[in-house]
A and B are shown apart, each in its own frame.
Chain A
Amino acid sequence: MAYFTQQLINAITLGAIYGLIAIGYTMVYGIIGMINFAHGEVFMIGAFISLIGFMICSLLGIGSAPVAIVLVLLIAMAFTSVYGWAIERTAYRPLRGSFRLAPLISAIGVSIALQNYVQLVQGARPKPGGQIVSGGFNLFSLDGFDVRVSWLQIIIVVVTIVLMAGFAWLIARTSLGRRQRACEQDIKMAALLGVDVDRTISLTFVLGAALAAVAGMLFLMYYGVIDFFIGFLAGIKAFTAAVLGGIGSLPGAMLGGLLIGLIEVFWAGYFSSEYKDVAAFSILVLVLIFRPTGLLGKPEIEKV
């Protein structure tokens, strides 16, 4: 029981990070029907900008962890948003209206380019991020096994919940969110009502990138080490989460992220950590066989 609870806590932490990245995949897919395979790299860049941000904070002598975290969070979100915006602008928008595979190929190209770019300017070796937040507390002890929650885990889960709630509010209640949903449901009609479709798509990339930046910062803080290649696996996992939850669905992305975290951590905890990725992807295959639209995905409604 104690061991189970400990794994659950770890799984939720990991799932939160996947969920944040998955939102970017699902939103872009919802609005332009394309998988942005460069999104994992945007997450990786978010992690690197956070690393640089924390270094600058310590150089400036900002000792307080909360101040540093908020500051780095904002910096990472701002810079990564610019990346998201620029990627859409240069690699996808010129291909709109082209055949369906073209932007997908372009996305893979962007992904490789960004990996190599970071490898070139930051080096290929893993970079330690230092410990920004340490410590924690014992939740309870059972049979000599301590169930520990670190402050960091609490920060990760709280930041994720706050951001997801804010984001859900933005989509459901604001006029920007309404325009976004309109584009997702019928992009031609949205344009006929005066929505600037190109701008709305740009903003979707910016929002997705900002959330990925947060995930990048949390990843850096949680694992303490990053390299230019972390975007690949995290990206694939988050994409899996988005598909598992139902691509195009926001709650689906959050649920999918949580589930991938659970599957991975519990498989590693109870069976073998070597095959945790295999387990996660196998569950995906099973879900897609029995529910092709994902857990919360809606079946395609054909317009009459």
Chain B
Amino acid sequence: MRVTVVPDPMLSVRGVATFYGAIQALHGVDLEVGKGEIVTLIGANGAGKSTLLMTICGNPRAQSGQVVFDGEDITGLATHEIVRRGVAQVPEGRRIFPRMSVFENLQMGATLSDPAHFAHDLERVFAMFPRLAERREQRGGTLSGGEQQMLAIGRALMSRPRLLLLDEPSLGLAPLIVRQIFEAIGRIAREEKVTVFLVEQNAFHALRLADRGYVLANGRVRLSGAGHELLANAEVRAAYLEGGHA
């Protein structure tokens, strides 16, 4: 395994171990996400990808190891304190508030931001996902999967994050929608200068988009490298890309 050294990391995960009760989900994970990078973490179901994202946000807390965000150790902070520092998450399963309108969901996304730029941020989200503007008053629970994903990303952007964590944004979506979502993620990183850490099972799309990638298996980082390197890697191809791609 090659050790990647990032000169100016936005996020450093150092030897993080996380437990669910007596079951250990992460066995000392090390990885780094540099400022302005798109970094992806791929791995099979149950490898610990979602656990890692939630551990970064402090729930569950890392039993040992360190999570450092922009030079500050955030391992022991409460979730809302971590989020306040500029981390936003688009969680697994999207977790849209089902009985709130699209607009209210976006308002929730702006919980921590200055009300003065709410209107401007809302406009940006609606420009990125015009479908959300059409559905403005509709309840979150009645949206389609793709619309919910757009809303989840829009909601995360409302807090003006410096680091955006995305957990399987392509899950369960039609190929056309998947392409739209990945395009949007690329734009967020390149045009809005948001650092992106993307967890995916859809390794092909993720590695093509990302600058660098890590492969997680059984709670440990197995491989890391540039996106195109991993795409060409025989082990990655066999384990995560076999059987074609969406």
Contact = CB atoms under 8 A, between A and B. Distances in A.
Contacts of A185: 97-100
Given A179-B111, A192-B79, A196-B80, A301 B98 contact: yes
A49 B91 CA distance: 47
A197 interface: yes
A192 B108 contact: no
A194 B159 contact: yes
A84 B96 CA distance: 31
Contacts of A178: 100, 104, 107-108
Contacts of A93: none
Contacts, number: 66
A190 B108 CA distance: 8
Nearest to B83: A194
A182 B95 contact: no
A270 to B, nearest CB: 40
A194 B95 contact: no
Interface in A134-188: 175, 178-179, 181-182, 185-186, 188
Interface in B124-161: 141, 155, 159
B213 interface: no
Given A192-B83, A192-B91, A181 B111 contact: no
Nearest to A191: B79
B4 interface: no
A257 to B, nearest CB: 22
Contacts of B59: 188, 191
B91 A194 contact: no
Contacts of B100: 178, 181-182, 185
Nearest to A298: B99
Interface in A285-304: 298, 301, 303-304
Contact of B95 (A179, A196, A303): A303
Contacts of B117: none
A192 B57 contact: yes
Nearest to B93: A303
Nearest to B105: A182
A91 interface: no
B109 interface: yes
Given A185-B99, A188-B59, A190-B108, A195 B93 contact: no
Contacts of A182: 97, 100, 108
Contact of B97 (A175, A189, A304): A189
Nearest to A196: B80
B99 A193 contact: no
A148 B123 CA distance: 58
A9 B104 CA distance: 39
A193 B93 contact: no
Contacts of B78: 191, 196
Nearest to B95: A189
Nearest to A304: B93
B188 interface: no
Contacts of B141: 301
Contacts of A194: 80, 83-84, 111-112, 159
A301 B93 CA distance: 14
Contacts of B99: 181, 185, 298
A75 B62 CA distance: 45
Specify which of A186, A189, A196, A304 lies most central, judged by the most chain B CB atoms within 10 Å of its CB: A189
B138 to A, nearest CB: 16
Nearest to B90: A192
Interface of B: 57, 59, 78-80, 83-84, 88-89, 91, 93, 95, 97-100, 104, 107-109, 111-112, 141, 155, 159
Given A175-B111, A303-B93, 11 more contacts: A185-B97, A185-B98, A185-B99, A188-B91, A189-B95, A192-B88, A192-B95, A195-B108, A301-B98, A303-B98, A304-B93
The 5 residue pairs across chains A and B that have the minimum distance between CB atoms: A194-B112, A191-B79, A189-B95, A194-B83, A194-B111
21 contacts: A175-B107, A178-B107, A178-B108, A182-B97, A185-B98, A185-B99, A186-B97, A188-B59, A191-B59, A191-B79, A191-B83, A192-B83, A192-B95, A193-B112, A194-B80, A194-B84, A194-B159, A195-B80, A195-B108, A197-B80, A303-B93
